[in-house]
Amino acid sequence: MRIGILSDTHNNYRNVEAALRLLSDRGVSFVLHCGDIEDVQTVRLFQGFTTHFVFGNCDVDKEELTKVIRESGAALHEHFGNLELAGRKIAWIHGDNQRLFREVEQSEAYDFLFYGHSHRAEQHRTGPTLVVNPGALHRAQPKTFAVLDLATCALEMVQLPESK
């Protein structure tokens, strides 16, 4: 199983659509979103994907986002998501709450911790946990997201092509 990890889409529809096309081309239909969705139209772009969202600091209208996420069949995990998929323990948060970020990172309870907020792709290991920021699809150069192959634990950082 392969999963896509996106963050900080900030209602940039063109970039979200481009990223979702690239995910689809790779056979990825399961997506984690690390927050800063911003509006309901962005949520609707994820139709056809199994998507799990968390809120970010720019997700102001939480009530409307919650309603549309639920109506679309996606899952909302508020500010902290965790799942076990293919025997891998995965957590994802936005990253603006530093206390929560440190607690999850240092808990040694997860194989992977994904986060956003900084708009900068990076990865490092803390104990058994690979900590990954997939980058952002808005206000970032380059605009990136990640694909994780759960069978091999291979992580691919994918860059959106520059728009013309």
Query: Residue 53's domain is classified under what CATH number?
Result: 3.60.21.10
Q: Is 33 a member of any domain?
A: yes
Domains held by the chain: number: 1
Q: Is 31 a member of any domain?
A: yes
Nearest residue to 135 via CA among 123, 126, 125: 123
Alpha helix (H) residue ranges in 51-127: 62-71, 98-106
- The per-residue pLDDT for range 97-133, each reduced to its tens digit, is 999 999 999 999 999 999 999 999 999 999 999 999 9
pTM: 0.97
Q: Is 164 a member of any domain?
A: no
pLDDT at 164 over 60: no
Domain of residue 129 covers: 2-159
